[in-house]
Amino acid sequence: MSTELVIELPDELADRLAEEPDISAFLTDCIRKDMTDERILRKLRQAGFALSPAHLKRAGRVVNAALEQITPKLGALVAGPEAGMPDEPAFTPGRSAFVLDTPALLAFAGGDEDVAARIVVASDRRLTVVIPAGCLASAYRQIPQEGWWVLDLLAALRPTQVTALTADCSAALGLWLRSVPAVDLAQAAMEAARAITPIMTDRRELLGEVLPKDWPIIDL
């Protein structure tokens, strides 16, 4: 099934795109670093990024480079048809879209298309996706080392921001740990409360111990 998209581009990029019948060939020139390992492309596709191995011979920070050099509205196309596109992007720099709890990071590493799609939409809307450092460390612990590169990619994407555990928040975190069983979950809840933003997780009931019962949760 074909999909028609209307994409507004800067004039010089629009002219070039008009001359290029294959969008993946156009994206090839937007990727900065060489890639020779076909397995990387396969894993990227499994992580939710619809990339063509016939044309994307060069890659690095795939989504970053494409979004920076083309347009935020092309983000959904890079991420594949499942991503969708916002009707009216709200350009609000500095605001958070949601917090990724450890289960959401593991889902992304396992190829969950919904998580990838939501990150792309957040990027289109100029929103930040918060990754608590405790959750990122927990995700690294739970997946084989050969799969760490997916988390590396996620942490390096333009919309994501890894938030550290600092001395200033240690006391508050300690109090939260009296009610939840793990540091990563406590930090996820704390970051959500700090930014007043939803959490993507599968631990809704546990979060109810420290956050209001009606706190917005994006269930996996």
**What is the arithmetic mean of pLDDT over 55-79?**
41
Summarize pLDDT for 20-42 with one digit per residue, the tens: 545 444 444 444 333 444 555 55
Summarize pLDDT for 144-181 with one digit per residue, the tens: 998 899 999 899 888 899 999 888 888 888 888 888 88
Residue 95 vs residue 108, higher pLDDT: 108
| DSSP code at position 74 | G
DSSP 138-163: HHHHHS-GGGHHHHHHHHHSTTEEEE
At 102 the pLDDT is 96
At 30 the pLDDT is 44
Q: Is 18 helix (H, G, I), strand (E, B) or coil?
A: helix
At 176 the pLDDT is 82
**What is the arithmetic mean of pLDDT over 69-80?**
40
pLDDT-derived band at 55 (thresholds 50, 70, 90) equals: very low
Of 130, 200, 159, 162, nearest in space to 63 by CA: 159
- Provide the token pair at 71: 């347009």
Q: Is 37 helix (H, G, I), strand (E, B) or coil?
A: coil
- Average model confidence (pLDDT) across the chain: 70
At 15 the pLDDT is 56
pLDDT-derived band at 140 (thresholds 50, 70, 90) equals: very high
Q: What is the pTM of this model?
A: 0.58
Q: Which residues pair with 218 in a beta bridge?
A: 200
* Rounded Cα gap, residues 131 and 169, in angstroms: 16
* Rounded Cα gap, residues 53 and 38, in angstroms: 7
DSSP helix, strand, coil percent of the chain (3-state; round to 5): 50, 10, 40
Q: Which residues pair with 199 in a beta bridge?
A: 99, 217
Of the chain, the percentage scoring pLDDT greater than 70 comes to 57
At 89 the pLDDT is 38
Is the model's pLDDT at 118 over the cut of 60? yes
CATH of domain 50-219: 3.40.50.1010
pLDDT-derived band at 87 (thresholds 50, 70, 90) equals: very low
Residue reference for tokens 């546990």? 206
**What is the arithmetic mean of pLDDT over 10-22?**
52
Q: Which residues pair with 96 in a beta bridge?
A: 128
* Rounded Cα gap, residues 59 and 40, in angstroms: 10
**What is the arithmetic mean of pLDDT over 187-195?**
89
* Rounded Cα gap, residues 126 and 158, in angstroms: 10
Residue 124 vs residue 45, higher pLDDT: 124
